[in-house]
Amino acid sequence: MGKANGRKSIFITGAASGMGRETARLFAGQGWFVGGYDVNEAGLEALKAELGQDNCAVRRLDVTDRDDYRVALAEFGEATRGKMDLLYNNAGIGRGGPFAEQPFEDVIAVVQVNLMGVLIGIHEAIGLLKATPNSLCFTTSSSSATFGMANIAVYSATKHAVKGLSEALSVEFKAYGVRVADVLPGVIDTPILPPGVAEAAPKEGMFRAIPPVEVAKAVWEAYHADKLHWYVPPELIELDKAATLTPEAVRDQMAQGGLFSAPP
């Protein structure tokens, strides 16, 4: 395991692929010490080889296992002398289908990883964040947290919860000097997407397929700004506004046009 040696540090869950991996690459390229955590051990080893073992600490972590999370954070704290500049709660799974037909085991799994994993991570890491000036607690929400998306209802519900949690903690954590923000990505071309979704996405508009590095850039910008919600792409803010002001109209348009339908 490497040591931060005075460098700023970021703790990333879901770091073995997609948005987490791109974030690890970007921050390492900017001279940060990276903690990368995932259940995909092969992906983590590849990440360590790319970043260099002196620049990172990688470890298998199931974010739903609170005891293991505590051990991972303790090890990270040893490498950073008790500091954490940025906690990136990014680990997530996507299991969809019509809710009435979805196996309840899938429902529980999505809630456990996408919501409980975030709650555990923040609750256990707050000590490191409080010990670090200008630290940021950052979480991956989703464009499905703007308006509930059919056929990914439980996933969407967890991401609504994450968005609300971020808003609440952004107020609470001011007392500690810890900043809080989230990112609401649209259709990001990562392994979490079902086969064919990225290819079927429109070429333009808020539901076009976006490379995961764009989310990594949002994480970087979030650390250097005072902004609560980051939309990738930025046009998604219009869906959030429409869902608040005219939810019935958004509902009806979604019902007519499916996943990629959005207000004008």
Model confidence pLDDT, tens digit, residues 8-30 = 999 999 999 999 999 999 999 99
Q: 90 with 19: CB under 8 angstroms?
A: yes
DSSP state of 175: G
Model confidence pLDDT, tens digit, residues 117-144 = 999 999 999 999 999 999 999 999 999 9
Confidence (pLDDT) at 242: 94
Can you tell me the distance from the alpha carbon of 199 to that of 10, in angstroms, rounded to the nearest whole number? Answer: 32
Confidence (pLDDT) at 195: 59
Catalytic residues: 155
Confidence (pLDDT) at 105: 97
DSSP 37-106: EES-HHHHHHHHHHH-GGGEEEEE--TT-HHHHHHHHHHHHHHHTS--SEEEE-------S-GGGS-HHH
Confidence (pLDDT) at 192: 67
Hey, what domains does the chain have and what are their CATH numbers? 9-256 (3.40.50.720)
Confidence (pLDDT) at 201: 64
Can you tell me the distance from the alpha carbon of 181 to that of 136, in angstroms, rounded to the nearest whole number? Answer: 7
- Which residues of the chain have a pLDDT value below 50? 263-264
Confidence (pLDDT) at 264: 44
Q: 138 with 181: CB under 8 angstroms?
A: yes
Q: What are phi and psi of 4, to 5 degrees?
A: -70, -35
